Amino acid sequence: MTEAAPPRSESFSPSLKDLLACPRDGLPLAAGEPNELACASGHRYPVIRGIPVLLLEEGTATIEAGAASRRKARGPVAAGGGDDLFLETIGVSDGERAAISALARAGGSGVDPVVQYLVAATGGLAYYGSRGRLSAYPIPELPLPSSQGAWLIDVGCNWGRWTIAAARKGYRAIGIDPQLGAVLAARRVADQLGISAAFVCGDARHLPLRPDCMDVAFSYSVLQHFSEADCRAALSEIARVLRSGAISVVQMANAFGLRSGYHLLRRGGRPPRQFEVRYYSPSRLLAICNELIGPSRLAADCYFGLGLQASDRRLYPLAARVATGLSEALKSMATVIPPLTRLADSLLIRSVRP
């Protein structure tokens, strides 16, 4: 008996199509010309390799790679144009793009070449030394209970690590990100791992989903990079797509964290630039999420940095493994001594949509 092929990622299935909406006017989307979606108002969006690209042409992008994605999707090279990985639409340096291309030509590592360099952007400083040398995908443990088919939107999914983590726990997971090359990598990784998940190229401030359609919204290491205006816009969109009683879990950086103070001192008081991390006080985070989503509470994500995950320890260098062990100990203590939560560098804000 031959072994069944693993399920392909649900990049554009009928169930996803029913949830998609025009990011301009909220109208349903339907297939128009080949490889295109359109709404009744005539707004048209390309579908590239099964990925709907639902980005607005107007306005400022939250990340330059998002603006590049808009140009690429509308240009004559939308089919690839010799760049099979769409590297200009990925938020890495020119040198890293060259290294990704070299890895892709060499082949054989078992880990997608795009992920080999995006891992530092999504997993934190602990992975900087591992760029280009990953031996396995760092799929974290989703900080949510298992599900039997609840819809989850992963806002700012990048290469899909949290989307895949959600799918493994039984969620019908949709990953959305403005970086087309990262979203295409997410679909490749999901296919490689035999995970059923959906992916869309879109903007957190203009989620291309109909209202009241999601059971859970999740966002990790994304909104902390936005200006406060963009962060508020994204949180408002999260609230819009959540059903009544649904929950959101958003990770943000804490200005009072044990290591955060060091980074703020290094900046010397200057305002953050471009995609640099923004640090908020715990009370400010609660106030914003209470206002825009609903009743909220804080939980510690990690100490001594951003992004340290116990599930990734086997892939970390020694110093990061030690820091993660200490972080996990403090997280356990914070469940008994709640004020310790407010010293975590990375916080999870859990909100309930009324």
Counting residues of the chain whose pLDDT is more than 90, the rounded percentage is 78
Does any domain span residue 47?
Answer: no
8-12, 254-258, 274-278: least confidently modelled range:
8-12
Q: What is the mean pLDDT of the chain?
A: 91
Contacts of 18 (CB under 8 A, 6+ apart): none
The Cα–Cα gap between 9 and 94 comes to 29
- Per the structure, the count of domains in the chain is 1
pTM > 0.95: no
Q: Residue 43's closest CA among 23, 14, 67? A: 23
* Pair of tokens at residue 265: 């001192």
The dihedral over CA atoms of 212, 249, 188, 37, expressed in degrees to the nearest 10, equals 20
Residue 35 located in a structural domain: no
What pLDDT, on the 0 to 100 scale, is given for residue 67? 92
pLDDT-based confidence at residue 77 (cuts at 50, 70, 90): low
What does the alpha-carbon distance between residue 309 and residue 31 come to, in Å, rounded to a whole number?
40
For 253-262, what is the mean pLDDT? 94
Assigned domain for 303 exists: yes
Least confident range of 77-81, 245-249, 322-326: 77-81
Within-domain flag for 182: yes
Is there a domain that residue 86 lies in? no
> What's the pLDDT tens digit per position in 128-149?
888 888 999 999 999 999 999 9
Question: Using one digit for the tens of pLDDT, what is the confidence trace for 84-118?
Answer: 899 999 999 999 999 999 999 988 789 999 999 99
121 within a domain of the structure (yes/no): no
Mean pLDDT of 140-169: 97
Residue 273 domain boundaries? 151-352
Separation between Cα atoms, residue 161 and residue 189, nearest integer Å: 9
Residue 4 confidence (pLDDT) above 60: no
> Is pLDDT above 80 for 228?
yes
What is the DSSP secondary-structure string of 29-96? Answer: -EE-STTEEE-TT--EEEEETTEEEE--SSS--SSHHHHHHHHHHHSTTTT-TT-TT-GGGSSS-HHH
The structure tokens 């579908």 sit at 47
Within a domain: residue 256? yes
Strand partners, 52: 47
The answer as to whether 199 is a domain residue is yes
Banded model confidence at residue 76, pLDDT cuts 50, 70, 90: low
Burial of 145 (0-12, 13-18, 19+ CB in 10 A): exposed
According to the model, what pLDDT value does residue 2 have? 33
Cα(143)–Cα(272) distance, integer angstroms: 29
The three-state DSSP-derived secondary structure of 206-261 is ECCECCCCEEEEEECCCHHHCCHHHHHHHHHHHHHHEEEEEEEEEEEEECCCCCHH
174 three-class SS: strand
pLDDT tier, 5 (very low <50, low <70, confident <90, very high otherwise): very low
Confidence of residue 58 (pLDDT cuts 50, 70, 90): confident
CATH code, 185: 3.40.50.150
Minimum mean pLDDT range among 111-125, 217-231, 327-341: 111-125
